[in-house]
Structure 1
Amino acid sequence: MPQHTPAQTHRCADCGDFQTVAVTTGTRHRDGSRATVRVTCHTCSGSGVAPRTASVFGPAKAGAAC
Structure 2
Amino acid sequence: MPQHAQNTRVCRDCDGFATAAITTGTRHRDGSRSTLRITCPACQGTGHTAPAALARTGR
TM-score w.r.t. length of structure 2: 0.71
1:34 maps to which residue?
33
CA apart distance, 1:36: 0.1
What is the aligned-residue identity percentage? 56
1:17 maps to which residue?
16
CA apart distance, 1:51: 2.7
Matched residues, number: 53
Structure 2: gaps of 5 or more residues = 53-59
Residues 5, 26 of structure 1: CA spacing in aligned structure 2 closer, same or farther, 3 A cutoff?
closer
TM-score w.r.t. length of structure 1: 0.65
Superposed CA deviations along residues 3-61 of structure 1, whole A, max 9, x for unmatched, are 86771x210011111111110000000111000000000000011112344xxxxxxxx
Residues 22, 6 of structure 1: CA spacing in aligned structure 2 closer, same or farther, 3 A cutoff?
closer
Structure 1: gaps of 5 or more residues = 54-66
Q: Runs of 4 or more off by more than 2 Å in structure 1? A: 1-6
Larger Rg: 1
Higher relative CO (Cα under 8 Å, sequence separation at least 6) belongs to: 2
More helix by share: 2
